[in-house]
């Protein structure tokens, strides 16, 4: 639905009409003044021609302007034509003598003779010059008055709600516009039924929730779902963000909350939607302002207003946030936001429907498989999928294609997940060779472990902030992680560093991010997941929500020194075991490591299918996963020709210079 445009204030319309009439009057006066002075100019002649006519005695009528020296005269043989010239203001004696020859007025010709005039300005011009200062003064005072009224109106309206109202007069958003999320739709259908027929619930004595809180990660469509509820129920929808309540003046937030609920009551049945409610609904008492904090006063007023209306009034409060853990407990108690609807990241089936919606209206190949794209985008929200489709369309335009293909989606996914390829970056031969073995180590460790996601793509082209990337894709959506999977991820992260040490007998700074990821996993295994036998089933992590000044008002005791030492020892033990396991894998499949590195040095990018094929050539006997790459065309494009059979033998690193 589109918001109804607000009507113009009557004061502004009246002021505009007055200004229009004043401008019209000025234009009329100016035109009258111009036309009143626009006398018949006549035919222009020179002053000498005028003197010659006087000497010839053919001048019948002369009118001389004493103010500017303008001379108008008529001849005897052509009395209808007025000749105009300009002479000296003071009449010379020679001209005075000649003017005596001009005939005097008579009964036959009363217009003849010489006239000396000193004309004044037009009355309209005089009136204009007299009225102009007064009009300017009056206009100045009117402008000052309007400006003062506007400022006062802005001050008086500062406490009004800034909510945008979506009425039923415009086409609305319904559940058909929300792809996927069938469980969420079923959960909030009760609200739609109540708004459509509240008498069914009141007759039996049932009470519907006053408030519904939509909780989920950013980009999952919480606002769209709230608008769909209003569209399905056919009631007005008032949308406002939490930051709209806050202003520099004290008490403005509470005033806007009162005005918001008052406006909703006037509409009868309505939905009030507050987006990002965590901006005003944070836990009270956590800040330095205490109970006089403006944000807390706004929250108190909202809590009071939610208690002030009955369920039979037909007003439903809906709010959205991605940080429910920091909301005030009083906001979540029964009778207020007593129902939470989780809007999670879309599952596989949801992603299929979302992609189908965003592909509408876009030209794409007939063989475009939405199922394959959805399998290759786990963990993406609805906003991420919309961006993915747009990026694919942009890649199609850049390539000069008239339709979007699977190849464009593969490029778009790499662009979104990995970043921009820095093809212009200059590297030495040693850096490229080291990067090739680094990424080959990652790819090998990911491919030979059963508990790790299959390899999708390996590249040594600098991408984003990395010199190379090894990309893996899960076979299905993962919602939890067991110990074997965590250990497999650490082994894969160690693959690049161990491969460099194995081949070049030294390590580089390129493994900094890998070590950080592995250390983070190992520490969480010990402190959060209870996967250490020595530490036991203890949750030692205190990474909770942080509030301003909260540490000053509460005494959080951390772990003891002995426990911290034990955590460090266990974390180090897990990392060393992962490194030893990684080294054993690389030594066992050393031939495969060299083949993958050779392929990367030759082609820069290879697909996951090619990684498994090269490892099988080295004797690994791995089963090729079914979704290592999104498209067969992409795999064919990135697949190097098969090496000769004798290339399976281990080649020393020194011979790689000829292989390049």
**Residues catalogued as catalytic:** 439
The answer to whether 319 and 275 are in contact (CB under 8 A) is yes
CB 366 within 8 A of CB 402: no
Task: Say how many CA atoms lie within 13 Å of 233 toward its Cβ.
Answer: 28
Q: Which two tokens stand for residue 40?
A: 């018949």
**How many alpha carbons fall within 13 Å on the CB side of residue 384?**
19
Contact 185, 206 (CB under 8 A): no
Strand order in the sheet with 164-166: 164-166, 237-241, 270-275, 315-321, 211-215, 339-342
* Rounded Cα–Cα distance for residues 561 and 569 (Å): 12
Tell me if 609 sits within 8 A of 635, measured CB to CB: yes
Strands 113-117 and 455-459: unpaired
Beta bridge partners of 84: 44, 72
Counted residue by residue, the chain has a size of 660
How far from 73 is each of 54, 94, 102, 118, CA to CA, in Å?
10, 17, 11, 16
* Sheet of 469-472, strand order: 469-472, 455-459, 605-607
CA distance 295 to 580: 54
Q: Is 490 helix (H, G, I), strand (E, B) or coil?
A: helix
Backbone angles phi, psi at 364, to 5 degrees: -145, 165
Which tokens sit at 121? 């300005």
Radius of gyration of the chain (CA): 43
Q: Are 158 and 249 in contact (CB under 8 A)?
A: yes
Q: Which residues, including other chains, have CB under 8 Å from residue 612's CB and lie 6 or more apart?
A: 447, 454, 455, 622, 624, 625, 628
Tokens found for residue 278: 């965590």
414: number of Cβ within 10 Å = 22
Q: Beta-carbon neighbour count of residue 253 at 10 Å?
A: 25
Rounded to whole angstroms, what are the CA distances from 14 to 6, 19, 66, 104? 17, 9, 49, 62
Give the integer Cα–Cα distance in Å for 273 and 41. 74
First-to-last C-alpha distance (Å) of the chain: 60
Token pair in block for residue 280: 């005003």
- The DSSP element (H or E) to which 339 belongs, if any, is strand 339-342
Task: With beta carbons less than 8 A apart as the criterion, state whether 365 and 405 touch.
Answer: yes
**165-175: burial string, b at 16+ Cβ within 10 Å, e else:** bbbeeeebbbb
- 547 by Cβ neighbours in 10 Å (0-12 / 13-18 / 19+) ranks as middle
CA distance 237 to 2: 10
317 in Cβ contact with 214 (< 8 Å): no
């Amino acid at each position: 639905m589109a918001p109804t445009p607000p009507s113009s204030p009557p004061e502004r319309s009246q002021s505009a009409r007055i200004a229009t009439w004043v401008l019209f009057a000025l234009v009329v006066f100016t035109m009258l003044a111009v036309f009143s002075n626009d006398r018949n100019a006549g035919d222009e002649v020179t002053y000498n021609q005028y003197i010659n006519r006087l000497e010839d005695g053919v001048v019948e009528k002369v009118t001389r302007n004493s103010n500017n020296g303008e001379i108008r005269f008529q001849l005897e043989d052509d009395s209808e034509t007025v000749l105009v010239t300009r002479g000296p203001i003071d009449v010379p004696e020679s001209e005075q003598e000649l003017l005596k020859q001009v005939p005097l007025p008579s009964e036959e010709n009363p217009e003849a003779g010489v006239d000396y005039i000193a004309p004044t300005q037009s009355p309209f011009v005089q009136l204009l010059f007299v009225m102009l200062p007064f009009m300017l003064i009056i206009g100045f005072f009117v402008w000052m008055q309007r400006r003062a009224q506007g400022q006062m109106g802005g001050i008086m309206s500062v406490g009004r709600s800034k909510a945008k109202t979506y009425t039923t007069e415009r086409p609305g958003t319904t559940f058909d516009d929300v792809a996927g999320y069938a469980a969420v739709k079923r959960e909030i259908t009760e609200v739609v039924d109540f708004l459509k027929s509240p008498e069914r619930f009141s007759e039996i004595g049932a009470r519907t929730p006053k408030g519904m809180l939509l909780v989920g990660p950013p980009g999952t469509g919480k606002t769209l779902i709230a608008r769909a509820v209003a569209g399905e129920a056919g009631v007005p929808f008032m949308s406002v963000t939490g930051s709209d309540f806050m202003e520099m003046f004290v008490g403005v937030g509470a005033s806007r909350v009162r005005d918001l609920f008052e406006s909703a009551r006037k509409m009868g049945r309505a939905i009030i939607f507050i987006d990002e409610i965590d901006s005003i609904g944070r836990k009270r008492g956590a800040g330095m302002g205490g109970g006089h904090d403006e944000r807390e006063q706004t929250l108190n007023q909202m809590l009071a207003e939610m208690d002030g209306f009955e369920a039979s009034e037909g007003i439903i409060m809906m709010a959205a946030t991605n940080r429910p853990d920091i909301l005030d407990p009083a906001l979540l108690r029964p009778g207020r936001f007593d129902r939470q609807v989780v809007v999670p990241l879309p599952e596989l089936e949801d992603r299929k429907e979302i992609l189908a919606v965003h592909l509408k209206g876009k030209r794409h190949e007939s063989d475009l498989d939405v199922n394959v794209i959805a399998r290759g985008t786990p963990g993406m929200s609805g906003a991420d999928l919309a961006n993915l489709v747009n990026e694919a369309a942009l890649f199609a335009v850049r390539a000069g294609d008239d339709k979007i293909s699977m190849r464009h989606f593969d490029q778009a996914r790499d662009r979104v997940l990995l970043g921009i390829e820095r093809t212009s970056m200059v590297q030495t031969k040693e850096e490229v060779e080291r990067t090739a073995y680094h990424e080959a180590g990652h790819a090998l460790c990911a491919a030979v472990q059963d508990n790790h996601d299959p390899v999708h793509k390996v590249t040594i082209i600098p991408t984003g902030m990395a010199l190379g990337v090894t990309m893996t894709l899960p076979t299905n959506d993962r919602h939890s992680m067991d110990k074997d999977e965590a250990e497999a991820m650490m082994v894969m992260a160690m693959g690049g560093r161990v491969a460099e040490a194995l081949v070049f007998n030294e390590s580089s700074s390129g493994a900094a991010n890998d070590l950080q990821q592995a250390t983070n996993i190992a520490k969480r295994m010990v402190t959060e997941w209870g996967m250490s036998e020595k530490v036991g089933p203890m949750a030692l992590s205190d990474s909770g929500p942080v509030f301003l000044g909260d540490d000053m008002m509460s005494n959080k005791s951390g772990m003891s020194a002995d426990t911290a030492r034990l955590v460090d020892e266990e974390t180090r033990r897990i990392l060393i075991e992962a490194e030893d396991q990684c080294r054993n894998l690389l030594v066992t499949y050393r031939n495969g490591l060299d083949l993958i590195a050779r392929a990367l040095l030759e082609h820069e990018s290879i697909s996951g299918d090619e990684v498994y094929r090269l490892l099988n050539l080295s004797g690994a006997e791995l089963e090729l996963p079914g979704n290592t790459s999104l498209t067969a065309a992409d795999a064919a494009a990135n697949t190097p020709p098969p090496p000769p059979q004798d290339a399976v033998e281990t080649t020393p690193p020194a011979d790689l210079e000829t292989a390049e």
